[in-house]
Each structure stands twice: as structure tokens, then as C-alpha cells.
Structure 1
């Protein structure tokens, strides 16, 4: 039976299982998901087996609506929390990316070639290494945005668009072993117009905040996930499309994507926290949607409990960054 964890901005972890109504969740005060995960690693036990009993009964939906929920897990030092991801991993994702990067009709872009590599070798036999995926970095833990908080697009951005994804949370053990804590909904917020200018701008387009939660599911990722991505503009539904995830709908296995991230030694430093986004199959940019400040992104999937919702905001103009010589 899946167990779900949420974290309050003011401190405390909210626990519920699949059969527990959201109005009867348990709040463990003075706890953090990070500390509980550290305890599970130290005791060599699944996280679900070290969760405290008891606690105050709380209404999780009410806490979410009032803006009290944080991302499901944070590092006490934001610089030691890495937000990264892999793209072109879902069987429904290639056509939009190819249309963004193809030089002419019929041209096979590097994006499509990367996608094809995944189809051919992204699901290797157990114990072997598969095809290397596309990889990107989004920023440190300071860029992790909680449910209900705004996703802020920088003043120089050409676009601010959603990418509905599943993210895995990983804590590195004392011996350098990556330990998967759980999975959560994610909005891998990106600048698709900048990316479309030239695929070498992908790195620039990904340096944006990302939203996670509000609940984290412990245990294995379901093989088939049916979610929904919506954009609301006032009372109007601007965009509403389903998205599929889980390995049945992916060109890579989760274990292959994990290997190609954690094979790099700097990503296996004891105590560090990694949040890895596994790619999307649906995005409104491919449907010609142009977002604007005030629009609300809403991402949901029954397997992950409460929906993830965030408004879009625009950062004020910062002008030229002048570097000071010491």
C-alpha cells in the first residue's frame, strides 16, 4: 500500500496511506523528510518502516489550499540540493521537440536522433548499461517551488511554459550510494521559445525554477500513469490535455536514467539531495499556447494524491549584470 509524505513550510511531516482520506492525515511535528530519510539509511530500513506513529490529525487538502505545504523534501543547505532532469524519454515527446529543432520539413533533428537512441537502447537487460539520455541542470534547491507558490520567469525570458513530469528524490548515503526516497509530481518550468532558437540554447532554457509535490509517493513508480495538465486563465481553461508516464510509456527505464545521472562521482557525495525529473510527454507550447503572468498551471495524477498548482509570475527587470573587480 503506497505511503505519501508532505512537508509543512513551518515544520513537520504529514503522513497518509492510500486508504486514508486526506482529511485524516497525520502530522508529525518537529520532523523533516530529510531527517527521516537519513534515519532510514542509518538503520538500513525502508523509509516507510521508520515513520513515527501517532501525531495530530490534519486536513491535507485544507493545508494545501491555504499554502502551508512545502516541496515534499528539502536539504537544510539549499546549495546541496540539485535539480536536474532528462528529456526525450517518453514515447509521446519526440514530435514536438523535433518540430522545434528541425531545420526544414523532413529534416531529422539531433533531438529526434537522441530520442531514437532511447527507443533502441534505453531499456537494457537488467544489470547492463543502456543508451545515454539527454541531461540538463535546472539549479540548486533555492529554485524548488512549493505547491501554490509562483513560478517566476526571469525578465529576459522569451517564454514560460509548463512541463508535467514525475520527479524522483534521492539522498546520498554515507558510502556514496544513491538512495531513492520517493516520487512526486513536478512542473519542469522551461523557456521553449529560447530553446527553439537553437537547440544549443537548451541549457539556458532550463535554468528556471521548478515546482514539486505537494505529496511524495514512497515505493516503486507505477508502470502506467495517466495524468492531466491544465492551464487556467481566470475562469477560462486555456489548456487541458492528458499526459502519460511510467515505464510503459517511456523509451528508457528509470534505472537507466538513474545510472546515467549518478555515474558521475560529484553526484554521489554523502548527504547531498538530488531531485531528478524524468521527462514529459505533453506541453502546451506544442499546441501554440502563449502563457502570461497570472496563468495557473495545474498538474494532477491519481497515483500522486493532491494536484500540483502554481501561478506564473514575471520577475522585475534587472538590467545588465555588472561584475565587480576586487
Structure 2
């Protein structure tokens, strides 16, 4: 089952479900996935089971998701009534091949004398990112992207700061979570994501990584409930003036990662700050495929497209340069 959020033709906010038979219907009485998740937690019930019961309780009301997408009515598949209570974070150097994109000149993992900090982190993941028997593995690289105000809906324009040196896509899988009343993180499911970043700034100095990640991002249009497939084969594209400028397959899922999903989740939610009841977390799991690594220089107006069969509709977003904030700091 997949869920999405959208505005219906009457202007009302709704939740839609793609059922196992492929049909897309509105979920009766549901205006947000966040509210459905809270209801499922309160009832100690699976989210898919709750949605299926809702759908079965009333005559099916079909929905055309592609039509809503074309009309600009798709929303992110998970949000929070107060954007300040939604965290957008991520982990890097998690995928086999990530090191090639981040640091091509260092390929010999066996020669410690040649290893950069990026390669050392990548090597640690290969050696300890998938511990056996539920043990805790090595911590991954981690970064913060922003709160819910930085999330751009599918089809929306990704704003790049006027001071940015680059605007580049990162096709990823995203984990979506709600924190329960007792501080337990509950995973809603997984979605496609574009972890939009500034790769030129990051390359200038690795200590600028934090700056390069403070950017908008987009995920969806649909969230896949249940387990993440072990092998995901998708496609990442950069479209310019209606034609494909660049495209490349990307691989994800644990078969193509040096960290287990459970290990990445543990090292994020081990912090009490990230277990605050009622909060929402959007966590990017990393990638090994970037147009930037192939020498592509994107420009405003380019459209990024990320697709993979388990996730339904592709994620598409153009990007543009945002206006600089007005004024500076004033003393009181």
C-alpha cells in the first residue's frame, strides 16, 4: 500500500491510498497521514490495516493521482501542522560506491596513508555498518537540512540560496517517522527523495558540508508502507528544455548499502532530542549517484526527476535561485 496527500478538485485536503490491486482511492475522513499515524499508534494498530478498514467502511471514491500531480495539487506525503516540529536530516557515505562520487582520487581502501576523512568514514561503514544479531554498528555521517518549512512538495520549485555555488540533485530513499506519546519512533514508511545540495561548496572544504546541506528538499509523491525492498533500481534524470540532459540508474536498498537501515535509524534516534512526542522526522538515507560527479552543471529551470517502480509516481522538481533575505542583523 502507498499513501499520498493532495488537494482535491474542491480545494479540500485529502489522503489517497493506492491499494494492492493498483486502484487509487480517497481514504474516508482522512485529511493527513500524520493524523492517521497518531490514530494507529493510539490503537496499537498497523497503519495499512487502519487505512484498509477505513476504505472498506464506505463506497470507494476513486482519485486520479496523475491528474492531481499535473494540476500542482500534490503535497508531501507526510507533514506536521507546525513545520517547526518536523526535522529534515540525513546520512551520507552509506551506499556502495558513495566514495567514488565524494572522492574519486582515493580508490584504494587498503592504503591507510591515502585515505581522506570521507574514505575513512566509508571504510568504517563497510566494516561495521551491518552488525549481526541486532548489535549496534558504527555511526554514519549525519547532517541536518532544516525543518518542515524547507520541504517542497512534489512538482514544486526547489529554491537555491542566492549565495549558493551549485544546485544539484541527490536521488535517495527517505524514511518517514512519527514520535509516539512515550517517545517511541514509529516508522510510517519510505519515499523517493531529492536531497538537493550544494556540491561545489562541499568540495571546497569538507568542513563546509554542514553549509552545503542547509537547503530545500522534496520527497514523495507517495509513501510506501511496510518494509523497504532489499534491492531498489531507479532512475535519476536532469531535464533541460524538455529533453533529457543526463540520466543514470541509481541503486538503493540494503543490498546496495554498507549500512543497515536499522543501524542508521538507531544512530539518529539515540538522541533524546529526536524522540520528542508528536514530532515528525524525514531522514534521507544517502545515494551513490550524482550528475555533479559526471561533470554536469545544472542551471535554474532544470527539472530533476527521480523514479523507482516500488514507489509509484516519479518525483519531479525544477529549481530556481531564491531572492536574498532583506536586511541584516540589528542591535536591540
TM-score normalized by the length of structure 1: 0.94
Residue pair 1:101, 1:111 contacting (<8 A) in 2 also: no
**Cα separation, 1, equivalents of 2:237 and 2:153:** 18
What residue in structure 1 maps to residue 249 of structure 2?
A: 242
Uncovered stretches (5+) of structure 2, i.e. residues with no partner: 108-112
Residue pair 1:69, 1:147 contacting (<8 A) in 2 also: yes
Three-state SS of the structure 1 residue aligned to 2:104 is helix
**Cα separation, 2, equivalents of 1:181 and 1:224:** 20
CA shift, 1:29, in A, is 5.0
Counterparts of 1:68-147 in structure 2, within 5 Å, are 68-99=73-104, 107-147=114-154
Shift in CA distance, 290/270, structure 1 to aligned 2, threshold 3 Å: same
Residue pair 1:25, 1:60 contacting (<8 A) in 2 also: no
Could you list the per-position Cα deviations for residues 47-96 of structure 1 after superposition, in whole angstroms to 9, with x for gaps in the alignment? 01111113521111111111111000101110000000000000021112
Shift in CA distance, 35/101, structure 1 to aligned 2, threshold 3 Å: farther
CA shift, 1:27, in A, is 4.8
What residue in structure 2 maps to residue 290 of structure 1?
A: 297
Counterparts of 1:267-286 in structure 2, within 5 Å, are 267-286=274-293
Q: Which of 262, 265, 286 is equivalent to 2:272?
A: 265
Alignment coverage as a number of residue pairs: 318
Shift in CA distance, 264/137, structure 1 to aligned 2, threshold 3 Å: same
Residue pair 2:106, 2:114 contacting (<8 A) in 1 also: no
**Cα separation, 1, equivalents of 2:103 and 2:178:** 34
How much is the aligned-residue C-alpha RMSD, in angstroms? 1.6
Could you list the per-position Cα deviations for residues 188-238 of structure 1 after superposition, in whole angstroms to 9, with x for gaps in the alignment? 000000000000000000000010100000000000000000000013211
Residue pair 1:86, 1:257 contacting (<8 A) in 2 also: yes
Shift in CA distance, 204/101, structure 1 to aligned 2, threshold 3 Å: farther
Pair 1:229-2:240 in alignment = no
Residue pair 1:170, 1:178 contacting (<8 A) in 2 also: yes
Shift in CA distance, 299/18, structure 1 to aligned 2, threshold 3 Å: farther
Counterparts of 1:57-72 in structure 2, within 5 Å, are 57-72=62-77
Pair 1:302-2:309 in alignment = yes
**Cα separation, 2, equivalents of 1:245 and 1:127:** 21
Pair 1:255-2:262 in alignment = yes
Residue pair 1:89, 1:133 contacting (<8 A) in 2 also: yes
Residue pair 2:157, 2:320 contacting (<8 A) in 1 also: yes
What residue in structure 2 maps to residue 13 of structure 1?
A: 15
**Cα separation, 1, equivalents of 2:248 and 2:18:** 28
**Cα separation, 2, equivalents of 1:173 and 1:294:** 40
Three-state SS of the structure 1 residue aligned to 2:100 is helix
Pair 1:315-2:313 in alignment = no
Three-state SS of the structure 2 residue aligned to 1:61 is helix
Residue pair 1:100, 1:196 contacting (<8 A) in 2 also: no
Residue pair 1:154, 1:315 contacting (<8 A) in 2 also: yes
Residue pair 2:101, 2:288 contacting (<8 A) in 1 also: no
**Cα separation, 2, equivalents of 1:192 and 1:18:** 39
**Cα separation, 2, equivalents of 1:25 and 1:306:** 15
Residue pair 1:27, 1:57 contacting (<8 A) in 2 also: no
**Cα separation, 2, equivalents of 1:118 and 1:158:** 29
**Cα separation, 1, equivalents of 2:154 and 2:165:** 24
**Cα separation, 1, equivalents of 2:46 and 2:27:** 20
TM-score normalized by the length of structure 2: 0.92
